[in-house]
Amino acid sequence: MTTPFIVVIPARYDSTRLPGKPLLQIAAKPMVQHVWEQAKKSDAQQVYIATDDIRIKEACEAFEAPVLMTKKDHRSGTDRLAEVATLLGLAEDDIVVNVQGDEPLIPPRIINQVAANLALYNHAAIATLAEPITELDNLFNPNIVKVVTDRFGYAITFSRAALPWARDALASNPRQLPEGIPFRRHIGIYAYRAGFLQNFVEWGSCWLERCESLEQLRALWHGVKIQVADAVEVPPAGVDTLEDLTRVKKIVETN
Protein backbone atom coordinates (compact mmCIF):
# COMPACT_ATOMS: atom_id res chain seq x y z
CA MET A 1 0.00 0.00 0.00
CA THR A 2 1.47 3.35 -1.01
CA THR A 3 1.69 6.21 1.47
CA PRO A 4 -0.89 8.97 0.81
CA PHE A 5 0.87 12.30 0.34
CA ILE A 6 0.89 15.46 -1.72
CA VAL A 7 3.78 17.38 -3.25
CA VAL A 8 4.17 21.14 -3.07
CA ILE A 9 6.71 22.93 -5.27
CA PRO A 10 7.51 26.43 -3.94
CA ALA A 11 8.38 28.65 -6.93
CA ARG A 12 9.64 32.14 -6.15
CA TYR A 13 10.41 34.67 -8.88
CA ASP A 14 12.92 36.83 -7.01
CA SER A 15 15.91 34.49 -6.89
CA THR A 16 19.08 36.37 -5.94
CA ARG A 17 21.38 34.59 -8.39
CA LEU A 18 18.91 33.89 -11.19
CA PRO A 19 15.87 36.20 -11.20
CA GLY A 20 12.84 34.49 -12.71
CA LYS A 21 14.51 31.10 -12.26
CA PRO A 22 11.32 28.98 -12.36
CA LEU A 23 10.56 30.38 -15.84
CA LEU A 24 14.00 29.79 -17.37
CA GLN A 25 13.63 27.65 -20.48
CA ILE A 26 14.94 24.09 -20.67
CA ALA A 27 14.12 22.23 -23.88
CA ALA A 28 11.30 24.66 -24.71
CA LYS A 29 9.65 24.34 -21.28
CA PRO A 30 9.95 26.51 -18.16
CA MET A 31 12.07 24.87 -15.47
CA VAL A 32 9.16 24.65 -13.05
CA GLN A 33 7.26 22.53 -15.59
CA HIS A 34 10.10 19.99 -15.64
CA VAL A 35 9.99 19.82 -11.83
CA TRP A 36 6.21 19.39 -11.86
CA GLU A 37 6.39 16.64 -14.49
CA GLN A 38 9.00 14.74 -12.49
CA ALA A 39 6.92 15.04 -9.33
CA LYS A 40 3.83 13.83 -11.24
CA LYS A 41 5.71 10.57 -11.91
CA SER A 42 5.77 9.90 -8.16
CA ASP A 43 2.91 8.31 -6.21
CA ALA A 44 1.67 11.69 -4.96
CA GLN A 45 -2.09 12.14 -4.85
CA GLN A 46 -1.65 15.68 -6.14
CA VAL A 47 1.21 18.00 -7.09
CA TYR A 48 0.76 21.72 -6.45
CA ILE A 49 2.93 24.68 -7.36
CA ALA A 50 2.97 27.50 -4.80
CA THR A 51 4.06 30.91 -5.99
CA ASP A 52 3.87 34.59 -5.14
CA ASP A 53 4.19 35.86 -8.70
CA ILE A 54 1.48 36.20 -11.34
CA ARG A 55 3.96 35.44 -14.15
CA ILE A 56 4.72 32.05 -12.65
CA LYS A 57 1.02 31.43 -12.00
CA GLU A 58 0.14 32.12 -15.64
CA ALA A 59 2.98 29.91 -16.89
CA CYS A 60 1.80 27.05 -14.68
CA GLU A 61 -1.78 27.41 -15.83
CA ALA A 62 -0.55 27.15 -19.43
CA PHE A 63 0.62 23.57 -18.77
CA GLU A 64 -2.44 22.90 -16.58
CA ALA A 65 -0.68 22.52 -13.24
CA PRO A 66 -2.63 23.23 -10.03
CA VAL A 67 -1.15 26.48 -8.73
CA LEU A 68 -1.72 28.33 -5.47
CA MET A 69 -0.98 32.01 -4.92
CA THR A 70 0.79 32.66 -1.63
CA LYS A 71 2.08 35.71 0.23
CA LYS A 72 5.19 37.53 -0.94
CA ASP A 73 6.75 38.02 2.48
CA HIS A 74 7.59 34.39 3.31
CA ARG A 75 11.17 34.01 4.50
CA SER A 76 11.50 30.39 3.40
CA GLY A 77 9.91 27.67 1.32
CA THR A 78 8.73 25.99 4.52
CA ASP A 79 6.77 29.10 5.51
CA ARG A 80 5.15 28.99 2.06
CA LEU A 81 4.28 25.32 2.59
CA ALA A 82 2.59 26.17 5.87
CA GLU A 83 0.33 28.65 4.09
CA VAL A 84 -0.47 26.01 1.46
CA ALA A 85 -1.41 23.52 4.20
CA THR A 86 -3.84 26.10 5.57
CA LEU A 87 -5.26 26.95 2.13
CA LEU A 88 -5.88 23.27 1.41
CA GLY A 89 -7.29 22.55 4.87
CA LEU A 90 -4.90 19.67 5.46
CA ALA A 91 -5.24 17.47 8.54
CA GLU A 92 -2.42 17.47 11.10
CA ASP A 93 -1.10 14.04 10.06
CA ASP A 94 -1.31 14.63 6.31
CA ILE A 95 2.09 14.28 4.64
CA VAL A 96 3.43 17.07 2.45
CA VAL A 97 6.61 16.64 0.41
CA ASN A 98 8.50 19.82 -0.42
CA VAL A 99 10.20 19.54 -3.82
CA GLN A 100 12.43 22.49 -4.68
CA GLY A 101 11.44 24.43 -7.78
CA ASP A 102 15.00 24.35 -9.12
CA GLU A 103 15.30 20.54 -9.25
CA PRO A 104 14.20 19.72 -12.83
CA LEU A 105 15.89 16.30 -12.74
CA ILE A 106 14.64 15.13 -9.33
CA PRO A 107 14.05 11.34 -9.32
CA PRO A 108 10.44 10.42 -8.52
CA ARG A 109 11.72 7.47 -6.46
CA ILE A 110 13.14 9.70 -3.75
CA ILE A 111 9.89 11.66 -3.51
CA ASN A 112 8.15 8.38 -2.72
CA GLN A 113 10.96 7.34 -0.38
CA VAL A 114 10.88 10.41 1.82
CA ALA A 115 7.08 10.28 2.14
CA ALA A 116 7.12 6.57 3.02
CA ASN A 117 9.87 7.12 5.59
CA LEU A 118 7.89 9.79 7.40
CA ALA A 119 4.84 7.53 7.51
CA LEU A 120 7.00 4.74 8.95
CA TYR A 121 8.65 6.81 11.69
CA ASN A 122 5.77 7.92 13.88
CA HIS A 123 7.94 9.98 16.24
CA ALA A 124 9.32 12.15 13.43
CA ALA A 125 7.67 15.33 12.14
CA ILE A 126 10.10 15.57 9.22
CA ALA A 127 11.89 13.09 6.98
CA THR A 128 14.76 13.91 4.67
CA LEU A 129 17.60 12.20 2.78
CA ALA A 130 21.38 12.06 2.60
CA GLU A 131 24.24 10.40 0.74
CA PRO A 132 27.79 9.41 1.73
CA ILE A 133 30.58 11.95 1.29
CA THR A 134 33.49 10.32 -0.51
CA GLU A 135 35.74 13.31 -1.31
CA LEU A 136 37.65 15.46 1.17
CA ASP A 137 36.87 18.70 -0.71
CA ASN A 138 33.14 18.07 -0.25
CA LEU A 139 33.59 17.67 3.49
CA PHE A 140 35.06 21.18 3.72
CA ASN A 141 32.72 22.83 1.19
CA PRO A 142 30.32 25.15 3.08
CA ASN A 143 27.80 24.88 0.23
CA ILE A 144 27.47 21.17 0.99
CA VAL A 145 25.44 20.61 4.15
CA LYS A 146 26.59 17.79 6.39
CA VAL A 147 24.35 15.73 8.67
CA VAL A 148 25.02 13.40 11.61
CA THR A 149 22.37 11.00 12.91
CA ASP A 150 21.92 8.85 15.98
CA ARG A 151 21.72 5.05 15.82
CA PHE A 152 17.97 5.19 15.22
CA GLY A 153 18.32 7.32 12.09
CA TYR A 154 17.27 10.64 13.64
CA ALA A 155 19.29 13.78 12.94
CA ILE A 156 21.58 15.02 15.71
CA THR A 157 22.59 18.13 13.79
CA PHE A 158 23.27 19.69 10.40
CA SER A 159 26.14 22.03 9.55
CA ARG A 160 27.95 23.73 6.71
CA ALA A 161 31.21 22.98 8.55
CA ALA A 162 33.06 19.66 8.36
CA LEU A 163 30.99 17.33 10.51
CA PRO A 164 31.92 15.32 12.48
CA TRP A 165 35.41 16.70 13.07
CA ALA A 166 37.80 13.72 12.92
CA ARG A 167 40.33 15.35 15.20
CA ASP A 168 43.13 12.79 15.29
CA ALA A 169 42.78 11.51 11.71
CA LEU A 170 42.76 14.99 10.18
CA ALA A 171 45.62 16.14 12.37
CA SER A 172 47.81 13.28 11.16
CA ASN A 173 46.73 13.47 7.50
CA PRO A 174 44.73 16.59 6.61
CA ARG A 175 44.72 15.75 2.88
CA GLN A 176 42.88 12.43 3.12
CA LEU A 177 39.26 11.69 4.00
CA PRO A 178 39.38 9.71 7.24
CA GLU A 179 38.26 6.10 6.94
CA GLY A 180 35.58 4.45 9.01
CA ILE A 181 33.55 7.62 9.64
CA PRO A 182 30.09 7.95 8.02
CA PHE A 183 30.38 11.47 6.60
CA ARG A 184 27.09 12.32 4.90
CA ARG A 185 25.80 15.09 2.66
CA HIS A 186 22.27 16.29 3.27
CA ILE A 187 19.94 16.15 0.26
CA GLY A 188 17.40 18.96 0.44
CA ILE A 189 14.09 17.16 0.01
CA TYR A 190 11.68 17.07 2.95
CA ALA A 191 8.46 15.36 3.93
CA TYR A 192 6.49 17.10 6.68
CA ARG A 193 3.44 16.38 8.78
CA ALA A 194 1.09 19.24 7.98
CA GLY A 195 0.42 20.06 11.63
CA PHE A 196 4.12 20.62 12.27
CA LEU A 197 4.28 23.28 9.55
CA GLN A 198 2.06 25.61 11.55
CA ASN A 199 4.26 25.20 14.63
CA PHE A 200 7.36 25.88 12.55
CA VAL A 201 6.04 29.25 11.41
CA GLU A 202 4.80 30.27 14.85
CA TRP A 203 8.17 29.54 16.49
CA GLY A 204 10.12 31.97 14.33
CA SER A 205 13.81 31.55 13.64
CA CYS A 206 16.39 30.64 16.30
CA TRP A 207 19.99 31.82 16.58
CA LEU A 208 21.41 28.50 15.34
CA GLU A 209 19.26 28.55 12.21
CA ARG A 210 20.33 32.13 11.49
CA CYS A 211 23.99 31.35 12.16
CA GLU A 212 24.16 28.46 9.68
CA SER A 213 21.38 29.64 7.34
CA LEU A 214 19.77 26.21 7.69
CA GLU A 215 16.10 26.32 8.57
CA GLN A 216 15.92 22.63 9.58
CA LEU A 217 17.94 23.59 12.67
CA ARG A 218 14.85 25.43 13.94
CA ALA A 219 13.10 22.08 14.22
CA LEU A 220 15.99 20.47 16.10
CA TRP A 221 16.22 23.51 18.38
CA HIS A 222 12.63 22.82 19.44
CA GLY A 223 13.22 19.10 19.98
CA VAL A 224 11.52 17.91 16.81
CA LYS A 225 12.75 14.61 15.39
CA ILE A 226 14.02 14.55 11.80
CA GLN A 227 14.38 11.12 10.22
CA VAL A 228 17.30 10.78 7.78
CA ALA A 229 17.95 7.93 5.34
CA ASP A 230 20.38 7.45 2.48
CA ALA A 231 18.63 8.19 -0.81
CA VAL A 232 17.76 5.21 -3.01
CA GLU A 233 18.82 7.39 -5.96
CA VAL A 234 21.02 10.46 -5.69
CA PRO A 235 19.49 13.44 -7.51
CA PRO A 236 21.63 15.49 -9.89
CA ALA A 237 22.52 18.95 -8.61
CA GLY A 238 19.82 21.59 -8.97
CA VAL A 239 20.03 24.92 -10.78
CA ASP A 240 21.64 27.75 -8.82
CA THR A 241 23.82 29.35 -11.50
CA LEU A 242 23.92 29.84 -15.26
CA GLU A 243 26.54 27.08 -15.41
CA ASP A 244 24.08 24.73 -13.68
CA LEU A 245 21.40 25.70 -16.19
CA THR A 246 23.70 24.91 -19.12
CA ARG A 247 24.57 21.52 -17.61
CA VAL A 248 20.92 20.60 -17.04
CA LYS A 249 19.97 21.70 -20.56
CA LYS A 250 22.58 19.34 -22.02
CA ILE A 251 21.27 16.43 -19.93
CA VAL A 252 17.62 17.07 -20.87
CA GLU A 253 18.30 17.68 -24.54
CA THR A 254 20.35 14.50 -24.94
CA ASN A 255 17.75 12.24 -23.26
Q: Collect all residues with Cβ–Cβ distance below 8 Å to 252 and sequence separation of at least 6.
A: 26, 27, 34, 104, 105
Return the bridge partners of 126, or none: 192, 226
Query: What residues does each domain of the chain span?
Result: 6-234
List alpha helices for 89-206, DSSP H.
Answer: 108-120, 136-139, 167-172, 194-203
Q: Tell me: the pLDDT tens digits for 124-161? A: 999 999 999 999 999 999 999 999 999 999 999 999 99
Q: Tell me: the pLDDT tens digits for 10-21? A: 998 877 777 888
Under CATH, which number does the domain 6-234 receive? 3.90.550.10
Average pLDDT of span 192-207? 94
CA distance 177 to 92: 43
Q: Tell me: the pLDDT tens digits for 90-129? A: 999 999 999 998 899 999 999 999 999 999 999 999 999 9
Q: Kindly report the average pLDDT of the chain as a whole number.
A: 92
Q: Is the pTM of this model over 0.85?
A: yes
Q: Is the peptide bond before 236 cis (omega within 30 degrees of 0)?
A: no
